[in-house]
Structure 1
């Protein structure tokens, strides 16, 4: 029953994508001193979700779009250039990506927990 709910499938996919991204970030950090190593990343979850033929739906106007002021307040991350040995890993950028991946994973778990609580409550079995 639980696996048929679209929101739980989306939360599971987000958690899996976050875990995969964390593995790639760990690989980048492990190879930070490897000559010629190029930093890798996984595609954004929204892109992967859309590629599967699914799309996020807005239930009201402005639901999926951030206000212009919020977007303008986020500073751009300065990506480092390749080092003289050809390595393109920036530890600072990897730290930022790891925090983003952790937040995405925590959001997926929160969605799953909330959905679980709603289903339990509807069955008369509160936590």
Structure 2
């Protein structure tokens, strides 16, 4: 009997990728907190998860057999959006609020760990079932 990983892992296999991408975006915001004109970004988790589940994107055409196949995602397709700042403009056009970014980064990290723990427990259960324990 074959194991259907889609049923076994549910949505959590897709959430890891989206949470990982969101970690990169939030880290970029923190790193650019003092960059003039930088606009804070975030990912619309629901849209990004839907895209990850459907594996939609723009497929790049290979013009030569030695070229590697790849996918390209625009900012909108990945669910990445600019965040409206909640602090007054300091004159440099930067919309990053480091406290907000740190809190979102920590929350995202905890949610990533929760999905990882869930997947680990599912994999552990599958291993026991395969071994007959």
Give the TM-score normalised by the residue count of structure 2: 0.64
User: Structure 1: how far apart are the matches of 2:3 and 2:106?
Assistant: 29
Q: Displacement of 1:2 after TM fit?
A: 6.0
User: Structure 2: how far apart are the matches of 1:112 and 1:101?
Assistant: 17
| Change in 2 beyond 3 A, CA 1:20/1:108 | same
Is 1:86 equivalent to 2:87 in the alignment?
no
| Change in 2 beyond 3 A, CA 1:95/1:3 | farther
Gaps of at least 5 residues in structure 1 are 54-77
Q: Displacement of 1:115 after TM fit?
A: 0.7
- Partner SS state of residue 99, structure 2: helix
Q: Cα RMSD between the aligned structures?
A: 2.5
- 1:42 corresponds in structure 2 to 43
Greater RCO, 1 or 2 (C-alpha within 8 Å, sep 6+) = 1
- 1:33 corresponds in structure 2 to 34
Contact 2:15–2:49 (Cα < 8 Å) also in 1: no
- 1:100 corresponds in structure 2 to 107
